[in-house]
Amino acid sequence: MLKFVGLDVGNANTKVAIGDELPKLIVNPSTLTEQTPGPTSEFTLLAGADEWVGRSWSIAPSESGLYPLDARFQGYGKPKLALPLLIASVWAELPEESRLKVALSIHNRTLAQSMADALNGKHVVQRLTRNGQERKELVIEVVLKTSEAAGVLESERATSGSNCLVDIGGGTVGVLSTIGQQLNPDCKPYFLDDLGFRALIAEFCKHDDCAMACSPRAMRFEQARSLLEKYKRNRGLFGGADLNQAIEAEVARWWASVWDQVNRQAANHLSRANAIYCTGGALLLPQVAAIVKQSGLTPVKAPIDGNARGLWSLAKQRAGVPVTAVRG
């Protein structure tokens, strides 16, 4: 059975859109735990073209203390983990035999071919289930290697003209200049480290109002993220303390720093763009989405899965198959 796949291996999560007529979105952490091959291994690559042949893995947290493999990990990274991450993500969607036509995105274009090489070919995989062992065969063909901008802009139906995409991830803010959906050949992507929404959350934790609300303990990262996600709906937390003003102050301070750095790096391209789109997990924070829009950027409709869905659409187009929908 033929299926089309949009694959977005992020630093934090792997997003996959898979289907034939309509895409189904699957999101898993971009981490694996390698296991000793044997009767209790979750996934084992029995045959294929990748270095994972004969190796086993799980996407569940390790119970034995083994260090999980991370998409950001030096020496592994996205190309080396792409195949096991993809297999684990789409397993439930695959029949015993399947063909996958994959469109993938990766910011570092020097790694694109090695990522495609790791995926391409025929693979035989075995999985341990409650009912015993399952075995499936899949043939993968990477039909498109592109930047994240292409999938996002396809999902937004932004197909022509000069555009800019500001991608606010957890750690990095990326700025990509495009002509249509393709990267501008005269402008390399800009990546600003340590400016993503994790920096915002860390600073919010230190705000005086947060310190008072949590005293005598410090506010934890996940607590702070929850407060930011529930902006204007968080009065019942921390003894009824009103932390909305702290949220507004810290988001404004963080965004001023981000937007200043973005303009320092890409002012010329921003000024020439017909539209400036913004994507990334930071847009799930309501006050961030609001201040981005106030700055003249267009928040994308699907900041988490838009790239994967757009890539799915591009995979179908490369195969000459009409696309009836991009968004699910």
- What pLDDT shows up at residue 69? 76
- Whether 57 maps to a domain, the answer reads yes
For β-strands 97-105 and 298-299, DSSP reports them as: unpaired
pLDDT at 328: 42
> Are residues 43 and 94 located together in one domain of the fold?
yes
Query: 179: which 2 tokens?
Result: 């002509």
Residue 10 domain-assigned (yes or no): yes
Per-residue confidence (pLDDT) for residue 327, from 0 to 100: 47
Non-local (6+) Cβ contacts of 271 within 8 A are none
Among 17, 258, 39, 251, which Cα is nearest to 151's?
17
pLDDT band, very low/low/confident/very high, at 127 (cuts 50, 70, 90): very high
Structure tokens at 47: 């045959």
Q: Among 129-133, 262-266, 316-320, where is mean pLDDT lowest?
A: 129-133
252 occurs within a structural domain: yes
The verdict on 170 and 267 lying in the same domain is yes
Please name which of 139, 105, 108 lies closest in space to residue 122, comparing C-alpha atoms. 139
Complete DSSP assignment for 90-139:
HGGG--SEEEEEEEEE-S-GGGHHHHHHHH-EEEEEEEEETTEEEEEEEE
The mean-pLDDT minimum among 17-21, 172-176, 272-276, 322-326 falls in: 322-326
> Do residues 123 and 51 touch, judged by C-beta distance below 8 A?
no
Residue 75: the pLDDT is 54
* Token pair listed for 113: 């071919």
Which helix (DSSP H) or strand (DSSP E) does residue 317 occupy?
A: helix 306-318
Q: Are residues 222 and 264 both part of a single domain?
A: yes
Say if strands 2-9 and 97-105 run parallel, antiparallel, or are unpaired.
parallel
Contacts 24+ apart (CB under 8 A), 296-305: 297/166, 300/152, 300/155, 300/156, 301/155, 301/156, 301/327, 302/155, 302/327, 303/278, 303/279, 304/15, 304/27, 305/15, 305/17, 305/25, 305/27
Of residues 19 and 161, more confidently modeled: 19
Half-sphere exposure at residue 50, Cβ-oriented, CA atoms within 13 angstroms: 30
Whole-model pTM: value is 0.85
pLDDT of residue 33: 87
Instruction: Please say whether the dihedral angle defined by the alpha carbons of residues 205, 206, 212 and 215, taken in this order, is positive or negative.
Output: positive
Q: Is the pLDDT of residue 59 over 90?
A: no
User: Which tokens in the block code for residue 273?
Assistant: 């763009």
Dig out the tokens for 59 from the structure. 């996407």
- Give the C-alpha separation, 246 to 174, whole Å: 26
Decide if 40 is inside a domain. Answer: yes
pLDDT tens across 225-238, in order?
Answer: 888 988 877 665 66
pLDDT of residue 211: 85
> For 136-156, how does the pLDDT look when each residue is reduced to its tens digit (9 = 90+)?
999 999 999 998 888 999 988
CATH label of the domain that carries residue 242: 3.30.420.40
Residue bearing the bigger pLDDT, 62 or 226: 226
- Do 7 and 128 lie in one domain? The reply is yes
173 and 247 share a domain? yes
Give mean pLDDT, residues 212-237. Answer: 81
Q: Are residues 141 and 166 part of one domain?
A: no
Find the domain containing 171 and state its range. Answer: 160-300
Is 281 strand, coil or helix? helix
Mean pLDDT of 164-175: 90
Cis peptide before 61 (omega within 30 of 0): no
In a domain, 324, yes or no: no
Question: Does 113 lie in the same domain as 77?
Answer: yes
- 315 Cβ contact list (under 8 Å, min separation 6): 4, 5, 6, 101, 102, 103, 143, 144
| Mean pLDDT computed over every residue of the chain | 88
- Is 154 among the domain residues? no
Residue 239 falls inside a structural domain = yes
Query: How high is the pLDDT of residue 182?
Result: 83
Q: Are residues 200 and 101 in the same domain?
A: no
Across the range 231-247, mean pLDDT stands at 75
Sign of the Cα pseudo-torsion (234, 235, 241, 246, in order): positive
Residue 65 confidence (pLDDT) above 60: no
Looking at the structure of the chain, the number of domains it has is 2
Q: Are 103 and 211 contained in the same domain?
A: no
- Which of 72-81, 117-126, 282-291 bottoms out in mean pLDDT, i.e. has the lowest? 72-81
Query: With contact defined as beta carbons under 8 Å apart, do 90 and 138 qualify?
Result: no
Q: Give me the pLDDT at residue 320, please.
A: 83
Mark whether 123 and 209 lie in a shared domain. no
In a domain, 326, yes or no: no
Give the whole-angstrom CA distance, residue 47 versus residue 58.
17
Mean pLDDT of 81-110: 93
